[in-house]
Amino acid sequence: MPLSHPIRFGANYVPSAGWFHGWLDLSPDSVRRDFDDLAGLGLDHVRVFPIWPWIQPNRALIRRRGIDDLLQVIDIAAESGLSVAVDLLQGHLSSFDFLPSWVLTWHRRSVFTDPEVRDGIAAYADAVARAVAGHPGVFAVTLGNEVNNLYPANPTTPEASARWAAELIDVVRAAAPNLLSLHSLYDATWYDPGHPFHPADNVDLGDLTTVHSWVFNGVSALDGPLGPATVTHADYLVELAAATSADPARPVWLQEVGAPRPDVPEADAPRFVRGTLDAVTANPALWGVTWWCSHDVDRALADFPEREYDLGLFTVDHRAKPAALELASAIREHREGRRPAAGRPALLCDVDLRTEPERRAEVAPGSAFHAEWVRLRQAGPLAIVTKGRADDAAHLAARGIEAVLTPA
């Protein structure tokens, strides 16, 4: 049977003119042309990143002009037929941290643990979520872009991190009850045993799980740009998330995935796009895919890591790259007529990331478990199931698992 909804396909929006600094003097015409680029590929949504300190430059000040600019960008997206997911805390973007002065210098205090800062963030989250809640083109609000990148500069503990996110999810839900509310973390939450943001938070907080798949985390070093570990990494993360969730029906949004150089050379990027999407779209837990990113960073801008300049589907002068054309082709094939794998097997995982986050290294890329999953995945779709659920017939049936394999 087809799944109940088509896969969503979108892009993380990086403005072609001025990168995210474009928010400082918003050009509607430039934004409109960027969104027309994306709509031309067949994408249905964009994820946008208003810059936190430019909307809340003081803990007690929310700039209405900043919110109005965000609403204008949402209006322009609707003109192009694109719905919008709004991220709140930027936070961290393309290796740069954007933090307001009221948490820096001699005001320095952790965004995760300081009570006054948390109250200020809650006020910001409420204002932005309330402003976008009534717009028919908005479907989701995410707390921020990989907020765990703000650690360790902002000290926290697992307990404080979970409490911080849960409180903000409640704020967003109260302000925008008709929108998806989401938590966003980069993959240290899945792979780093000492990281103070735990997998359970990712799969318990918010309305669906988000994962970010970046093969420069060591995966591409295992077998190159087009090897099985590399092109199935997104699928592996979606499976880890599905296996960790207490709800076997909880969807997983592949909220970021891209083809970073030099891990994926430009000549290999189209085949990486195709291999990644062919693998991950077979996963019944997948809700949608949002490519990072829409447009390159202008090389006139200084101090970016080299790989950040060329991650766009389009150049700054709006030329669609070969990867973009391959993405458009894959979207046409995978959006409609989606069918989950019938009776797929699952690989038994001895680690339960919900209760054993200290064992995260045992499922990280290059681990024995990961290597076995990659080997078996080459024969077709392969789930992951934890030891506590291997005999749970209802759980297995809900995830379309017909057999449980023991690692060699």
- Tens-digit pLDDT profile for residues 67-90: 999 999 999 999 999 999 999 999
Q: Which domain holds residue 390?
A: 344-405
| Domain shared by 328 and 348, yes or no | no
To which H or E segment does residue 236 belong?
Answer: helix 233-244
CA distance 150 to 218: 21
Q: Are residues 65 and 179 in the same domain?
A: yes
Q: Are residues 350 and 315 in the same domain?
A: no
Q: What is the pLDDT of residue 338?
A: 63
Residue that finishes a domain, picked among 334, 358, 393: 334
pLDDT at 1: 27
Q: What span, in angstroms and rounded, lies between the C-alpha atoms of 314 and 358?
A: 40
Task: Single out the residue in 287, 315, 334 at which a domain terminates.
Answer: 334
Same domain? For 103 and 209 the reply is yes
Nearest to 47 by CA among 212, 166, 167: 212
The pLDDT value given to residue 339: 63
User: Does a structural domain hold residue 397?
Assistant: yes
- State whether 261 and 386 are in the same domain: no
Nearest to 315 by CA among 306, 324, 305: 324
The answer to whether the beta carbons of residues 280 and 289 sit under 8 Å apart is: yes
Residues 174 and 306 in one domain: yes
Q: pLDDT for 113-133, tens place per residue?
A: 999 999 999 999 999 999 999
Statement to judge: residues 278 and 387 lie in one domain: no
Higher pLDDT, 67 or 2: 67
Residues 400 and 267 in one domain: no
Domain co-membership, 259 together with 348: no
Residue 40 has pLDDT above 90, yes or no: yes
What's the total number of domains in the chain? 2
**81/221 same-domain check:** yes
Whether 384 and 351 have beta carbons less than 8 Å apart is answered as no
Q: Give the CATH number of the domain where residue 248 resides.
A: 3.20.20.80
User: Do 377 and 311 belong together in one domain?
Assistant: no
**Range list of β-strands (E), 133-235:** 138-144, 180-182, 209-213
Let me know if residue 362 belongs to a domain.
yes
CA 260 to chain CA centroid, nearest Å: 15
Query: Which residue blocks in 245-340 are alpha helix, DSSP H?
Result: 269-280, 322-334
Write the pLDDT tens digit of every residue in 365-398: 999 999 999 999 999 999 999 999 999 999 999 9
Q: Which of 91, 284, 259 shows the shortest CA–CA distance to 186? A: 91
